[in-house]
Chains A and B, each alone.
Chain A
Amino acid sequence: MELINPAEVQRMIDTLKNQDLYIHLEMTTGAYAAHYDSSKHPAANFITNALIRYEHGSISGNGPYRVGLKMSHGWVYTEGLTHFEQSDTERLIMAGHDSQGKLVVALQLSREPF
């Protein structure tokens, strides 16, 4: 994974619009959050291989970045993205890592199921 290059991500967002895509969307504080610090509230969710289609999308911010994808009846929104997979030219693979390198958030889009 490399640090996000917003121009490259925007290009991929544009390439993938107006077609059926499989999405992996995830956010997590980690299963051990409350074990290490009882003031923390452990929370997580993920959805894998739901089908979506957006007609417009963009990346914004100065890093960590936000991405919003506008669908015909709603939105996909993600905040906190730091890294993307530059070598992947077919899919958009993005994640946000905290200061310890742990994954906090992920947004992935692909024409094929993950």
Chain B
Amino acid sequence: MGQNILVILPHPDDEAFGLSGTLAKYIVEGAHVTYACLTLGEMGRNMGIPPFANRITLPSIRKAELEESCKAIGIQDLRLMGFHDKTIEFEDQDKLDGVIASLLEEIKPSLVFTFYPGYSVHPDHDATGAAVTRTIQRMPAEERPAVHCLAFSKNCEEELGKPDVIHDVSMFIVQKMNSIQAHRSQFQAAELLGKKQLKTKEIEQRFGTERFWTYTFA
């Protein structure tokens, strides 16, 4: 039995660019991954080019894209938590923390992935990271899982320092590209790769490394 990993992110596609290679690597090494996706990204602005989604159909389209992405990565357990896009920071904090606490209790992960609160640009990202770290903070120190955070605000390296966890995922580029491309309403091929087909080496340089900051509890 490998380790249990719990991923808590707010939007379908949050896993694709920053984390999919790392998860694919852990899974090949025997880990069991549970991905709790808080919302369906139903307020997303991308509808495909030309738009094949609309405000009504977007949630079900993004759900199917997320399932395809998880399959590409090899994620064994996807949980859709039913919160509404853009509202995580306004949710009842006790309710949100309670949902996260019961996931932690059930899965007993040794490693958790989420966004670094305050350094993740989108209010849902920051609110998700804040809820996850707040809930884990309440656990006895010896029972806390390690928390590896994604961050991409402009000031993140200035304030947090260099990321301390670096994964070479060049062996898992296929899984990662399939995860990204599964989210076809969100990432258009042209936006992603430019007009011309990228060479294998260029893809590896651009997508071959994933970086995380370990969250330090007070």
- B51 contacts which chain A residues (CB < 8 A)? 1, 83, 95, 97, 101, 103
Q: Are A35 and B154 in contact, with the CB atoms below 8 A?
A: yes
Cβ contact of A102, chosen from B46, B52, B86, B154, cutoff 8 A: B46
Cβ of B28 within 8 Å of any chain A Cβ, yes or no, is: no
- B123 contacts which chain A residues (CB < 8 A)? 31
Chain B residue at smallest Cβ distance from A101: B49
A32 and B121 contact, Cβ closer than 8 Å, known pairs A83-B51, A101-B188, A102-B45: yes
Smallest Cβ distance from B52 to chain A, in angstroms? 8
A31 and B122 contact, Cβ closer than 8 Å, known pairs A1-B47, A101-B47: yes
A30 and B56 contact, Cβ closer than 8 Å, known pairs A35-B121, A35-B154: no
Cβ of A75 within 8 Å of any chain B Cβ, yes or no, is: no
Q: Are B121 and A103 in contact, with the CB atoms below 8 A?
A: no
Q: Are A1 and B54 in contact, with the CB atoms below 8 A?
A: yes
Cβ of B95 within 8 Å of any chain A Cβ, yes or no, is: no
Smallest Cβ distance from B124 to chain A, in angstroms? 8
Cβ of B199 within 8 Å of any chain A Cβ, yes or no, is: no
Q: Report, nearest first, the 7 A-B pairs whose CB atoms are least far apart.
A: A101-B49, A102-B45, A1-B51, A103-B45, A31-B122, A35-B121, A1-B54
A100 to B124, CA, bound (A): 23
- A58 contacts which chain B residues (CB < 8 A)? none
Cβ of B196 within 8 Å of any chain A Cβ, yes or no, is: no
Q: List A residues at the B interface (Cβ < 8 Å).
A: 1, 24, 26, 28, 30-32, 35, 44, 46, 83, 85, 88, 91, 93, 95, 97, 100-104, 106, 108, 114
Q: List B residues at the A interface (Cβ < 8 Å).
A: 43-56, 86, 121-124, 153-154, 188, 191
Smallest Cβ distance from B90 to chain A, in angstroms? 13
A87 to B4, CA, bound (A): 46
- A93 contacts which chain B residues (CB < 8 A)? 54-56
Smallest Cβ distance from A47 to chain B, in angstroms? 12
Chain A residue at smallest Cβ distance from B123: A31
Chain A residue at smallest Cβ distance from B185: A101
- A31 contacts which chain B residues (CB < 8 A)? 86, 121-124
Chain A residue at smallest Cβ distance from B51: A1
A114 to B44, CA, bound (A): 16
Chain B residue at smallest Cβ distance from A106: B55
Smallest Cβ distance from A104 to chain B, in angstroms? 7
Q: Are B46 and A24 in contact, with the CB atoms below 8 A?
A: no
Chain B residue at smallest Cβ distance from A103: B45
Smallest Cβ distance from A73 to chain B, in angstroms? 27
A58 to B197, CA, bound (A): 46
- B153 contacts which chain A residues (CB < 8 A)? 35
A1 to B123, CA, bound (A): 29
Smallest Cβ distance from B162 to chain A, in angstroms? 20
